[in-house]
Amino acid sequence: MRETMATATLKQYDTKSQASRAVRDAFAKLNPKDQVKNPVMFMVFVSAILTTILFVLSLAGIADQQPGFILAIAVILWLTVLFANFAEAIAEGRGKAQADSLRAAKRDVQAHKITQGLLAAGQHEGDPASLYFARSEEVNSATLKKKDYVFVAAGEQIPADGEVVQGAASVDESAITGESAPVIRESGGDRSSVTGGTTVLSDWLVVCVTQESGKSFLDQMISMVESATRKKTPNEIALQILLVALTIIFLLVAASLFTFSGFSSGLSDMANPTTITSLVALFVCLAPTTIGALLSAIGIAGMSRLNKANVLAMSGRAVEAAGDVDVLLLDKTGTITLGNRQASEFVPVDGATEEELADAAQLASLTDETPEGRSIVVLAKERFNIRERELEGSGMVSIPFSAATRMSGVDFDGHEIRKGAADAIKSYVEKFGGSYSDECRQRVEDISRAGGTPLLVARDHRIVGVIYLKDIVKQGIKENFASLRKMGIKTIMITGDNPMTAAAIAAEAGVDDFLAEATPEAKLDMIRRYQAEGHMVAMTGDGTNDAPALAQADVAVAMNSGTQAAKEAGNMVDLDSSPTKLIDIVMIGKQLLMTRGSLTTFSIANDIAKYFAIVPALFVPLYPELDALNIMRLTSPETAILAAIIYNALIIVALIPLALKGVKYREASSQSLLTRNLLVYGLGGIVLPFVAIKAIDLLLTLCGMA
Is the separation of the CB atoms in 42 and 36 below 8 Å?
yes
Determine the Cα angle at 155 with ends 149 and 161, to 5°: 35
- Kindly give, in sequence order, each residue whose CB lies less than 8 Å from that of residue 676, ignoring residues fewer than 6 positions away: 666, 668
DSSP-assigned beta bridge partners for residue 411: 397, 416
**C-alpha pair distances (Å), 246 with each of 41, 156, 287, 300, 345:** 13, 58, 7, 24, 69
- The Cα–Cα gap between 439 and 445 comes to 10
DSSP code for 157: B
Residue 394, Cβ density class (10 Å: 0-12 exposed, 13-18 middle, ≥19 buried) = exposed
Annotate 316-352 with DSSP letters as a single string: HHHHHHHHH--EEEEETBTTTB-S--EEEEEEE-TT-
Helix (H) and strand (E) counts for the chain?
A: 27, 21
Output the known binding site for ATP.
368, 372, 401-408, 419
Phi-psi region of 167 (alpha: psi -120 to 50; beta: other; left: phi over 0): left
Output the known binding site for Mg(2+).
542, 546
H/E segment holding residue 214: none
**Is 331 tagged catalytic?**
yes
- Candidates 528, 514, 697; CA nearest to 613 is 697
- Candidates 135, 130, 134; CA nearest to 117 is 135
DSSP-assigned beta bridge partners for residue 345: 468
- Determine the residue type at 258: F
Is the separation of the CB atoms in 478 and 581 below 8 Å?
no
**Residue 313: helix, strand or coil by DSSP?**
strand
- Candidates 91, 105, 101; CA nearest to 21 is 91
Is the separation of the CB atoms in 572 and 557 below 8 Å?
yes
- The Cα–Cα gap between 363 and 391 comes to 10
- The Cα–Cα gap between 303 and 309 comes to 10
DSSP-assigned beta bridge partners for residue 153: 204
**C-alpha pair distances (Å), 577 with each of 227, 328, 582:** 25, 17, 10
Q: b or e along 200-229 (b: 16 or more beta carbons within 10 Å of the residue's beta carbon)?
A: beebbbbbbbbbbbeebbbbbbbbbbbbee
DSSP-assigned beta bridge partners for residue 86: none
Q: Per the residue annotation, which of 148, 161, 219, 331 is the catalytic one?
A: 331
H/E segment holding residue 490: strand 490-494
User: CA-CA-CA-CA torsion for 256, 262, 263, 269, nearest 10 degrees?
Assistant: 160
- Candidates 470, 423, 418; CA nearest to 447 is 470
User: CA-CA-CA-CA torsion for 649, 654, 658, 664, nearest 10 degrees?
Assistant: -120
- Determine the residue type at 428: Y
- The Cα–Cα gap between 195 and 197 comes to 6
Distance of CA 48 to the CA centre of its chain: 39
- The Cα–Cα gap between 124 and 139 comes to 25
HSE-CB for 436 with a 13 A CA cutoff: 19
Output the known binding site.
368, 372, 401-408, 419, 542, 546
Determine the Cα angle at 701 with ends 699 and 705, to 5°: 110
**C-alpha pair distances (Å), 350 with each of 25, 362, 438, 596, 639:** 80, 19, 9, 66, 96
Residues with catalytic roles: 331
